[in-house]
Amino acid sequence: MNISQKQQYQIWESNEEIQAFREYLRIPSVHPDVDYDECVHFLRRQATSLDLEAEVVEVNPAKPVVIISWVGTDPSAPSIILNSHMDVVPVYAEMWSHPPFAAHMDEEGRIYGRGSQDMKCVGIQFLAVIRTLKREGVKLRRTLHVTFVPDEETGGELGMRDFVRTERFKKLNCGFAIDEGYATEEEVFRLFYGERAIRRANFYISGTPGHGSLLLSGTAGEKARKLLDRMMDYRAMEEKKLENNPELSIGDVTMLNLTMCAGGVQCNVVPPEIMLCFDIRVSNDISIKQFDALLEKWCNESGGGIRIEFAVQNPVTEVTRLDDSNQFWVALKGALDKMNLEVRPRINPGATDIRFLRELGIPAVGFSPMNRTPVLLHDHDEYLHAETFLKGIDIYKEIVVAIANV
């Protein structure tokens, strides 16, 4: 029997998981100066509705990590962590069609809100999986730990990075983890098994100062131009590599982007120093030591007197193996095949909290079941369709059952 659009809307509106999702979206856990108290209260209520406890670990002041655990039939077996972050990026409310923290659902089923894709949807979907399995009387071998962490959008240093260094994290006994991916407009889903090394480099370029009317040699501006040429030439080479090979994605090449410039006091004074800031993402097929040496070489070739300070200098982490040696991958891939879902493994072009688990040698993937969906993370009018959200619960359910019973 066909149902009307109005009836479909009412079905979505009355769905308890969509209701929880929209309630979560209405919490403005937005940078800067995020107050996580409302998120914690909300998650405690969600845990109670599942007949589970919500443990709160505060590794750093006002930076809570919420852990909701469902103990498996074999508590000694390495557990599964299902991770998401509570924080969201800032908004320009005037650029939105609907208020960014109203969780408005239009008649087509699009749920608008900051965090709808990145990534409050995933946290609620993980809890919805547990609710469904418990109602069905399903028992899983491995314990599930659904973790909600702070400050991912600002690098995770006060959240997941410090949490994985604690004894409490070690006691979680994690054997495999799932974190966020992102949407794709294609039919094929993306699954991320590694990330590029991040270098956020400030180049302090010193040179000859003086009056703006003079033709001075060795100025900071001259050196900056030479350094920029080298950096941008390398960027163009990587861009061409990406254009010429359709098998590559942006996560497979090294990207260098000039993000900030600073220096000088007034127009007729040649400054003694100029600062250039680059956001650099180094691909996994390059030795990071060799790349860092290349930066030093470019500084010397540009005239010397250039100092590099790294605001971020992440270590290189091994990618998660997607072969028969990884029993969790075998189970996950089996679940995807059972659902006839095609997944394209990729290196994540960005950075997520899952890298901190990979640094410990824990296999982990990033996967958000959002296909045929515009990529709107961090964008105006971020939304997720209600049907995509509900389908994602079904997909995660099959995956969780498979990996938790390995």
pLDDT at 206: 98
Stretches in the chain below the pLDDT threshold 50: none
Contacts of 24 (CB under 8 A, 6+ apart): 39, 42, 115, 120, 123, 124
pLDDT at 1: 53
Is residue 372 within 8 A of residue 198, CB to CB? The reply is no
Q: Which value, to the nearest 10 degrees, does the dihedral of the CA atoms of residues 129, 134, 136, 140 take? A: 80
The sign of the torsion formed by the CA atoms of 66, 58, 62, 94 equals: negative
Q: Tell me if residue 152 is catalytic.
A: yes
**DSSP label at residue 105:** B
Q: Rounded distance, CA 199 to CA 193, Å?
A: 20
78: left (phi over 0), alpha (psi -120 to 50) or beta: beta
pLDDT at 285: 87
pLDDT at 315: 81
pLDDT at 373: 98
Choose the catalytic residue: 17, 118, 152, 195: 152
One-letter amino acid at 237 equals: M
This prediction has a pTM of 0.92
Domains (range + CATH), the chain: 5-180+368-404 (3.40.630.10), 197-313 (3.30.70.360)
Please give the distance of CA 68 from its chain centroid, rounded to a whole number: 21
pLDDT at 33: 92
